[in-house]
Structure 1
Amino acid sequence: MLQLVVGLLGYGAAVMVMVLSGLGAASWSVLSEGVAKTLGVSFGTATNAVAVAVLLTWIPMRELSGVGTVLNVLVVGWAADLTALVVPVPATLGLRYVYLVVAVVAIAFFDALYLGAQFGSGPRDGLMTGLVRLTRLPVAVVRTAIEVCVATLGWVLGGQVGVGTVLLALVMGPLVSVFLPRLAVRLPDHAPPARRPQ
């Protein structure tokens, strides 16, 4: 449980550090922005709508939710808002790139940390784990494909894409695949297989 909470808090903080860099948001944020512009709704409403839409894809994949699914919705946004209050906006271009690099690595690390706690995926990570399980493709391939598709769709809908968006889309999958096996909690053999990282 501690690993789950730390992972979610760290993930929310890292997402906000990336936003503060001003060099491009994460792929899912680009999609939410594009949906917001297309439908004429707020960014928060679009984010929730995207989350619901992604959760619906879990049904045919038979992906299981858990405590981590619920806490993801409750904790990540709060952690991001808190981070925005305490972390200053970088004053120089060099510092903006430092923020970006730290954020990209931290997003992948904390994503793997909370997934490795084995309490269930958040909406977007459940899509990844479900597709990994169904396709038997490596995490790096599936995650990269999702990030690229989501960023592209968000851009087509009017979301803002930056160098950080492209960087995260390309390296998120490989980084998660490096971190996840090292951070996954080992469950007893009788544990539900759907909760184990692929």
Structure 2
Amino acid sequence: MSVQLKRPAAAPLLALSPREQLRAPRLPHRMTQLMIGLSLYGFSMAMLVRSTLGLDPWDVFHEGLTKRTGASFGTVILVVGLAVLLLWVPLRQWPGFGTIANVFVIAFATDVGLAVIAVPDALAAKVALLVGGVILNGVAGGLYIGSQLGPGPRDGLMTGLVRRTGWSIRATRTGIEILVLASGFLLGGTLGLGTVLYALTIGPLVQFFLRVFTVELRPADASPQP
């Protein structure tokens, strides 16, 4: 007789207020996971930049602003993140600790990554850097989102618009990314293989790694996110 083992269900992502996020169980573990995830996320972005084979929509925008202003990539990420947070105000959203940390830690980690990673000469090395960056980005997303300490500024903008307007998540996410991608391209940001690869794979990657890294909380006064 064969015995089949059931795969454990993924822990749910909960709709927590900023206060609930900090009062929920396993806070030291979640804080550590958050910081590791955000640091790896910034480093993965540097890997994608140094591959020179194309960026995700927001980083096309960031790179375009970098070329126009002469500011470092991390500085642009920081300024854009703060600007996006200002858009939360009319949406009546409150940032969590992870939201604020997202703005500063990713900006710093990206600049550190760009300082230590050089652009490879060989195409094979560039492709390896691109693929590794996309996978690491998925791991990092699972880590920091799974810490349940608040969404990033850009994700929060999307969910806030959905809640206030009644638009679908798909339409809202697509509209935002088309807008920033087109703006970044006009500013001189890099589109290419990486842009396509990221668009096709980042959703499944983050979904997979969320199953691995989401910290189970289940407070009585919170409900799962849709």
Q: TM-score, normalised by structure 2?
A: 0.70
Which residue of structure 2 lines up, in the alignment, with residue 19 of structure 1? 49
Following superposition, the deviation at residue 96 of structure 1 comes to: 0.5
SS of the residue 1:58 aligns to? coil
Q: Percent identity?
A: 42
Match of 2:84 among 46, 54, 72: 54
Following superposition, the deviation at residue 164 of structure 1 comes to: 1.0
SS of the residue 1:190 aligns to? coil
Residue pairs, 1:1-198, within 5 angstroms: 1-35=31-65, 40=69, 42=71, 46-130=76-160, 146-190=176-220, 192-193=222-223, 198=226
Check conservation: 1:19, 1:25, Cα contact below 8 A: yes
Q: Which structure: larger Rg?
A: 2
Quickly say closer, same or farther: Cα 1:105–1:14, change in 2 above 3 A: same
Quickly say closer, same or farther: Cα 1:50–1:87, change in 2 above 3 A: closer
Show CA shifts across 1:126-174 (max 9, x none). Answer: 2344456676967x88656644442223213432322212321333233
Aligned residues: 194
Instruction: Note the aligned Cα RMSD (angstroms).
Output: 3.0
Deviating more after overlay: 13-22 vs 118-127: 118-127
Structure 2: state its 5+ residue gaps: 1-30
Higher share in helix: 1
Q: What is the alpha-carbon distance in structure 2 between the residues aligned to residue 132 and residue 111 of structure 1?
A: 21
Q: TM-score, normalised by structure 1?
A: 0.78
Quickly say closer, same or farther: Cα 1:146–1:113, change in 2 above 3 A: farther
Following superposition, the deviation at residue 192 of structure 1 comes to: 4.6
Amino acid at match of 1:47: I
Structure 1: state its 5+ residue gaps: none
Q: What is the alpha-carbon distance in structure 1 between the residues aligned to residue 80 and residue 117 of structure 2?
A: 27
SS of the residue 1:119 aligns to? coil
Q: Which runs of 4+ in 1 moved over 6 A?
A: none
